[in-house]
A and B are shown apart, each in its own frame.
Chain A
Amino acid sequence: MRTSRMPALIAGLLFAITAHAADTDHWQLPVAVKKLDNGLTVVVSEDHSSPTFGISTVYHVGMRLEPQNRTGFAHLFEHLMFEGTPNAPKGTFDRVVQGGGGVFNGSTRADYTNYIASAPISALEPLLWIEADRMKTLDFSDKNLDNQRNVVKEEIRVNVKNQPYGLFFWTDLDALAFDKWPNKHDGYGSFEDLDHASIADVKAFHDTFYQPANAVLGISGDVTPEQAFALAQKYFGAIPSRPLPARPDVSEPLNTKGRHLEQTDALAKAPAIAVGWKAPDRGSKDQMPMLVLAQLLVGDDASRFYQGLVKGREQLLQIQGGVNFALGSGTDYAGPTLFGLFAIYKPNAQPDQVLAALNEEIAKVAKDGVDDATLARVKTKMLSDWYGGMEDFLSRADTLAKLQTLWGDANVVNQVPGWINQVSANDVRRVAQTYLTDANRSVIIRRPVAAHGKDAGAKPAKH
């Protein structure tokens, strides 16, 4: 063996060296923030290493705030943002971005909806113009609505109804773990609710939430903050803001009794399990320790769950998970979320054994915390991943805009490495004890229909 176990003293010295090396890896991103008079916040990170830019317009509205009888509406609305305005008819957006050599997309999450693009810097002004144009108003037409309703249904068919496992570790696990409608409902939506969505709904949603005071514009790349602020003022400055409704209280306490659900899957060939524990609030003292714990347990091939259950006990084919899994990261949520897991288990394993094994690994941390060597490795990996997530201008602009939206401070981007570094073994132990309990745990076992045979007792899968 090239590396053998070393006496503690030498090991300590080595870590000192490692920590020193990590200092040279320090990366401070420039962050400039300005709020326009109409309430639009603009965040800029200048970088001239590539003649391109990334842009992300983040609206502080997502699935949690969609109307109660309109599941899936925030996402359907996101689609309609690409379907034209009175000034720029359907198709114009695509032509402007692609004609500028750019790529674009949008996504809807629990707490935000983001519109992202990246292009050569020569396309910056046209992209800002067309982004501002759709913040003003949309082409509220039934034809567009019908068209995108069909497209969204196809999206749901691709990802849910025609797909093994059908994202049950997102929608079904949220439905089981949470009690308040904003947190527990299916954000992809029922076809029935999608069918009921009307142009009046679309207009009301745009009027309420799609306005400067509810948005952050992130720009990163080959532009100075002064230039970017001036352009933002030029294209967005005249858009009026409107009063915003008060945000509902969506908070939930940790669960006090474990929850368990069994499902069947008409498409899958192998059984799977999803587990979720309610996680610390964004910005709470437990959030960073929980992120470190999640990395320790399931972050990579060195993690406890991987080494303990994929290797070791050989119960799982694969496991993935994290805080705010499966649709986000540990820093881009603003309401209740889960430390979630999804695993496919093997024919030699039973779900009870898997759950017991997960608990054994958790118990080790809850009892003993984590040794210094492991903690240092885990933190180094998290630092590397945090920087890696900021590599391209698009991800950088998007991260900054999301942090400004959800944390109220884009500079969090430069604080997270220090916060991670401050987490102690005791912190990790504390959050393992507090959050990863059976009482706070929700579990779904999902088995192939075939595994049940034609047993009349087998319940059909939700989807």
Chain B
Amino acid sequence: MITTTLKASLLAAALGIAMTAHAAEAPMPKELPPYGPERPLPVPQITQRTLPNGLTVWVIPRNGLPKVNVQLAVLGGTSYDDAKHPAQAELMAALFNEGTDTLSSKQIAEKLQAIGGDYGANAGRDSIGVSASALASHSDELLELVADTALHPSFPAKEVTLEKTNALQTLKVNQADPDWQSMRAFNHAVYGDHPYARDELTEASIQAVTPESLHQLHDQRMRPERALLVIVGKVDAGQVLKTVEQQFGSWKATGPAPANVTQVPTNTPAQKLLVARAGAVQTNIRFGQPTAPLRDPDFIPLTVANTVLGGGFSSRITQDIREDKGYSYSPYSTLDVRRNGGNTLAVVDVRNEVTGATLGELSKLYQGMGTEPASPEELMRAKRLIAGIYLLRNQIQSSLANTLARYWVSGMPPSFMTTYVTDTGKVTAEQVQAMGRKYFAPEKQSIILVGDPKAIDPQLKAIGSFTPYKP
């Protein structure tokens, strides 16, 4: 149980005392029925096994939906890539299903189709991931296919060439996307020289890839003792574990493991960058700073603080910038916190004319996180939203598998998925305010703008000097 049962009368009482800046909220309607009693939080029942080769396996059997989801995560994502050739792990993962020692690209696609399958492989900053699903009766075939593609990709020369051609073209396509442009500059500002800044392919890294270099990268990265396999769905745990042993038991690491990645420095000076996009009718504002890693005790209160700031529709950012000012369609703030650090981030896209005004509002809202305590109702809403999102994630097999894998990659035990909710339930307004001072001080946030300099320059004078960003 994470929250006590709140009746409407209690809510009204809470509102009555919260008459500070953010408590201009009206009393709830008299006729509104109270929330019902809380049910206990369901906890995923995980059958855990470690294979002799070091592979960690978690199985969560379910009933109902006749499908199975598989998630493989291997520590060794783009932050482990060579600085001169960023994000080559992405190309490697993208080629997993383009040919193995025994199957062609087309055969893999047809096999997947035949079992009602979906398959995706990618490289995040910390890990290489494979997510796949199929009808439950085909779970053995799905596991065989995941093992074959992830452990025995053949990187056929023809497929590597096509992948490189397409990656170069995709890079060109992406450069037209203002969100992509903004995040590239944002990562540069927030992570500086840390490898977390380099999570996008460049022309140089694409061109340097060969089948041989991919095999070498595969040998270095894909190691059972650095891997987790999660299986969720309508399966029998014993039967699945047998199949896993058959398919993954002979997996062995070859060659030296990659060196550990250092922690993200949190004292990087804030930057103001302007990415010029002539003719743009909006400015894409990105606002944020580095954070401690996920295992740091700050993560729990910071999550509550971020939810109050911009984590839901009733958050301060949405209510002010969208619902009061009408400046933006979908403004929000989020946390991207990982194994070796992370960042706060506000995403606000606004029309040119209100760019300066929006930056002023954001500054005030961020300042307020350190100076104006969350009202009891704000705190309650944030905690209940966090618990509600947990329940939703828990309901969707792929989401449960992904969430468990993400926490494991960040060094957390499987129980963290649930203790995270109970622990956020204990966070106080004082802790939220302390997180506000530590992570939301406006002068510490880097500001990235993608927009038309001609249209917005005059509005930026009051905010400070923006450096043109050129990758």
Q: Which residues of A are at the interface with B, using a C-beta cutoff of 8 A?
A: 1-3, 18, 21-22, 24-27, 47, 49-52, 87-92, 94-104, 118-126, 129-130, 133, 146-155, 157-158, 161-164, 222, 266-270, 300-302, 306-307, 311, 314, 317, 344, 346-347, 376-378, 380-381, 383-385, 387-388, 390-394
Contacts and interface: CB of A to CB of B under 8 A. Distances in A.
A99 B281 contact: no
B105 interface: yes
Nearest to A165: B176
Most buried by A among B28, B105, B329: B329
Most buried by A among B64, B282, B318, B392: B392
A151 B326 contact: yes
5 contacts: A51-B391, A87-B31, A163-B178, A269-B175, A314-B165
Given A21-B138, A91-B323, A302-B112, A158 B162 contact: no
B38 A158 contact: no
Given A92-B28, A157-B349, A266-B279, A98 B381 contact: yes
Given A147-B326, A317-B170, A383 B391 contact: no
A157 B326 contact: no
Please provide the 6 A-B residue pairs with the shortest distance between their CB atoms, ordered closest to farther. Answer: A384-B116, A101-B388, A150-B326, A51-B39, A101-B384, A302-B109
Contacts of A311: 105-106, 162
Interface string B325-336: 011111000000
Contacts of B178: 162-163
Q: Is chain B's binding surface mostly helix, strand, loop or mixed?
A: mixed
B154 to A, nearest CB: 12
A453 B282 CA distance: 24
B42 interface: yes
Contacts, number: 269
A150 B66 contact: no
Contacts of B103: 1-3
A302 B106 contact: yes
Most buried by B among A27, A101, A344: A101
B377 A95 contact: yes
B25 A91 contact: yes
B176 A52 contact: no
B429 interface: no
A98 B385 contact: yes
A161 B109 CA distance: 36
A25 B109 contact: no
A187 B314 CA distance: 28
Contacts of B170: 317
A122 B36 contact: yes
Contact of B173 (A151, A153, A270, A388): A270
A92 B327 CA distance: 21
Given A25-B136, A126-B34, A307-B106, A99 B384 contact: yes
Most buried by B among A91, A120, A123, A151: A120
B176 A269 contact: yes
Nearest to B103: A2
A73 to B, nearest CB: 17
Given A2-B107, A50-B391, A91-B26, 7 more contacts: A3-B107, A3-B111, A100-B35, A148-B326, A154-B327, A154-B329, A300-B112
A380 B381 contact: no
B37 to A, nearest CB: 6
Interface residues of B, number: 92
B35 A130 contact: no
Nearest to B393: A392
Interface string B17-50: 0000000011011011111111110100000000
Contacts of B330: 155, 158
Nearest to A50: B395
A102 B388 contact: yes
Given A52-B395, A91-B323, A162-B178, A381 B116 contact: yes
Given A52-B392, A103-B392, A378-B113, A98 B323 contact: no
B42 A99 contact: no
Given A270-B169, A302-B106, A91 B29 contact: no
Given A126-B34, A153-B351, A311-B162, A27 B65 contact: yes
A410 to B, nearest CB: 18
B94 to A, nearest CB: 12
B124 interface: no
B29 A92 contact: yes
Interface in B298-356: 312-314, 318-319, 322-324, 326-330, 349-351
Contacts of A392: 392, 395-396
Contact of B133 (A21, A148, A377, A388): A388
Given A123-B35, A391-B65, A157 B384 contact: no
B457 to A, nearest CB: 18
Contacts of A378: 113
Given A158-B349, A317-B170, A377-B113, A129 B33 contact: yes
B281 A162 contact: yes
Contacts of A125: 33-36
A137 B176 CA distance: 43
A374 to B, nearest CB: 8
A364 B115 CA distance: 25
Contact of A269 (B62, B133, B172, B389): B172
B95 to A, nearest CB: 13
Given A120-B39, A125-B36, A126-B35, A87 B29 contact: yes
Interface string B438-459: 0000000000000000000000
A122 B39 contact: yes
A143 to B, nearest CB: 10
A314 B65 contact: no
B135 A383 contact: yes
A385 B134 CA distance: 9
Contacts of A3: 103, 107, 111
B102 interface: yes
Contacts of A266: 279
Contacts of A147: 323-324, 326
Given A22-B135, A24-B137, A95-B381, A268 B176 contact: yes
A394 B42 CA distance: 18
A381 B106 CA distance: 16
B28 A346 contact: no
A104 B313 contact: yes
B82 interface: no
Contact of A18 (B114, B173, B279, B387): B114
B397 interface: yes
B137 A25 contact: yes
B329 A151 contact: yes
B391 A52 contact: yes
B110 interface: yes
Nearest to A344: B173
B427 interface: no
A430 B220 CA distance: 52
Contacts of B395: 49-50, 52, 391-393
Given A164-B176, A266-B279, A302-B113, A122 B35 contact: yes
Contacts of A377: 110, 113-114
A300 B324 CA distance: 43
B115 A380 contact: yes
A90 B36 contact: no
B328 A154 contact: yes
Given A302-B109, A311-B106, A89 B35 contact: no
Contacts of A21: 135, 137-138
Nearest to B119: A301
Interface in B407-459: none
A1 B58 CA distance: 31
B38 A122 contact: yes
Contacts of A302: 106, 109-110, 112-113
Most buried by A among B109, B116, B322: B116
B452 to A, nearest CB: 10
A270 B173 CA distance: 6
B221 interface: no
